[in-house]
Amino acid sequence: MMTPFKRFHLVRTLYRSSQIGESSSYLLGSSKTYSSAISNGSEGNFRSFYPNLLKGQDGFPFAGVKSLTLRSTMAAELSIFMNDKRMITTQAKAPAQARQVAQQISISSPGFIYEPYEPRAKMPFWKRWFTRSGWRRTKHDIILELKSAYAIAKLRKKGYSKKQFYNEAVNMYKEINTLIANGDRRSLRKSVTEKMFSALKNEIKLRESAWSKVYWEMVEPVVTIRTLRARLIGVDRKDLDKTFIQLTLEILAKQKFEAYDSKGSVVAGDKSKEVLVRDIWVFEKSMFHRGASWRLCGRITPKASKA
């Protein structure tokens, strides 16, 4: 038979165990809902054993005491687990939210060609230097050239090499044209901007409705490649380093082309003949994204110089 002193000591021990569970859930910073559930669970277990302790019944189920202590410990551990889970969830969400904010601030592409290149009309020497319209035209031409020079100078600080870029541009020119001919939309997405990809998808869809298959080949090396214009586009007024650069290139290359219908018959072109093609492509690159690569952002239809 258990003496009153031992009963009191056991009751005090159990009460402290339940209090530890409650105080742990509070100190661990769990929410009110979880703290309430854990506290109520501990108190409920304690109250269920309390009448038996007061009655002084023999054979008190000590396993119940172990169960209560275990549940109190589990309650504390559950509180830790739930608290850590919230912390992990917050840490997981934070980068996603940060990425969304970053995407809003630092966009992947401006989505347009800034000051698209067009050939300048030729002007006689006397008119350029002895008329007001000639002076205005000369001033405007100088400003255009200074903009290109400034953009190239900024690009060189990032390790730009004209020879290396021209090689990369030619490879991209060949690759993109091949992907367009093959209708490979998935691979094409990586080499062009979002707006350009949308335009090329429509172009491929229109072509596939007329021709079943297309053969395209570029005869290497290219005949001519040169830079017509360079422009910087700022996306943040408070940070002048957040810019995109666009280089407009003229590419003159010999190509072979042939189109087929659903039966495999040639309906356009002749792949046995070389055709000299002049293209004006605009390549774009972010100046503030680490590891950014050049992408095609637009094509300009070549126009003859105005007389």
**How far is CA 123 from each of CA 137, 145, 252, rounded to the nearest angstrom?**
9, 17, 26
The reply to whether 199 falls in a domain is yes
The arithmetic mean of pLDDT across residues 74-86, rounded, is 35
Going by pLDDT thresholds of 50, 70 and 90, the confidence category of residue 240 is confident
Going by pLDDT thresholds of 50, 70 and 90, the confidence category of residue 162 is very high
pLDDT in tens, 171-185: 999 999 999 999 999
| Both tokens assigned to 213 | 């298959």
Closest among 265, 151, 279, 268 to 224, alpha carbons compared: 279
The reply to whether 234 falls in a domain is yes
Q: Which pLDDT score is estimated for 50?
A: 34
Instruction: Please state, for a pLDDT cut of 90, what percent of the chain lies above it.
Output: 56
pLDDT in tens, 202-236: 999 999 999 999 999 999 999 999 999 999 999 88
Question: Cα(298)–Cα(281) distance, rounded to whole angstroms?
Answer: 6
Angle among Cα 10, 11, 17 to the nearest 5 degrees reads 90
The reply to whether 87 falls in a domain is no
The arithmetic mean of pLDDT across residues 68-78, rounded, is 36
Q: Which pLDDT score is estimated for 278?
A: 96
Enter the pTM of the model.
0.64
Q: How high is the mean pLDDT of the chain? A: 74
**Residues 1/58, Cβ–Cβ less than 8 Å:** yes
Instruction: For helices 4-27 and 62-105, give the axis angle rounded to 10 degrees.
Output: 10
pLDDT in tens, 125-158: 999 999 999 999 999 999 999 999 999 999 999 9
Parallel, antiparallel or unpaired: strands 275-286 and 243-260:
antiparallel
Give the domain extent around 219. Answer: 160-300
The arithmetic mean of pLDDT across residues 120-126, rounded, is 91
Question: Does residue 23 surpass a pLDDT of 90?
Answer: no
For residues 216 and 71, the model is more confident at: 216
* Number of domains the chain contains: 1
Question: Does residue 53 surpass a pLDDT of 80?
Answer: no
The reply to whether 12 falls in a domain is no
The dihedral through the CA atoms of 161, 164, 170, 172 has a sign that is negative
The reply to whether 165 falls in a domain is yes
Between 4-8, 83-87, 206-210, the lowest mean confidence (pLDDT) is in 83-87
The reply to whether 211 falls in a domain is yes
Residue 212's CATH number:
3.10.450.240
The reply to whether 66 falls in a domain is no
The reply to whether 139 falls in a domain is no
Going by pLDDT thresholds of 50, 70 and 90, the confidence category of residue 115 is very high
